[in-house]
Structure 1
Amino acid sequence: MFFGLTIEKVLVIAVIAAFLIGPERLPKYAQFLAQFTKRARDFLRDAKTRMKDEMGPEFDEADWRRLDPRQYDPRRIIREALLDDPPVATVRAAGVAAAVTTAAAAPVRYDAASGEPPPFDSEAT
């Protein structure tokens, strides 16, 4: 659940709250909670509808699961980074590496028309 709360913890909190509120005020608070939940659900539904209207058909076609932060797996990212091709090295006749091509030595230019996003540098921000 949210914020590390499990069903058991929520039930314990609800029982303690019921004892603290008391039987005479409990129906009023339960009604308030139901109204708040209904208003929140309506607000979220209206916000989603407005967002679809403003963003157009691209909103439905977006791959929202790919953007979900719960899909972030640092082990997978490191594994993919390690399996990338190593930098190309030019070797002299004697067998000593003369130069290693790196991103700093040869900057890569990205064309906006290709649709490929430029790489993200987490250290630059």
Structure 2
Amino acid sequence: MTMFGISYEKLFVLAVIALFVLGPERLPAAATWVGQNIRRVREFAGHANRQLRSELGPEFDQLREPLEQLRGPLQDLRSLRDPRSALMRHLLDEPSPPSNGPVPSARPAVDTDAT
């Protein structure tokens, strides 16, 4: 996985599409522009994070704690978007323990002594 959850294969396909759409003359300039803007967004996010941390102090970590607790279940939900990982998770999960009660039948009992 790479940035934004895009695999290398998908990046390659996007690069080939960009080559056809933009052409070999404009592709390097477009790639430079995209790289510069991604760098600016990262710098902005890092600056905002440092500013919040300095202004909130220890309360910042208290605010982040519930979000970190949600990260695990969200990763589980994201893995369900990929059919292969969802299938592997389903196949590798331990089966639920059998119940001790009677197993309900799918068909209702039919009375054969109709007189």
* TM norm structure 2: 0.50
Q: Greater share of helix residues, 1 or 2?
A: 2
* TM norm structure 1: 0.46
Q: Greater share of strand residues, 1 or 2?
A: 1
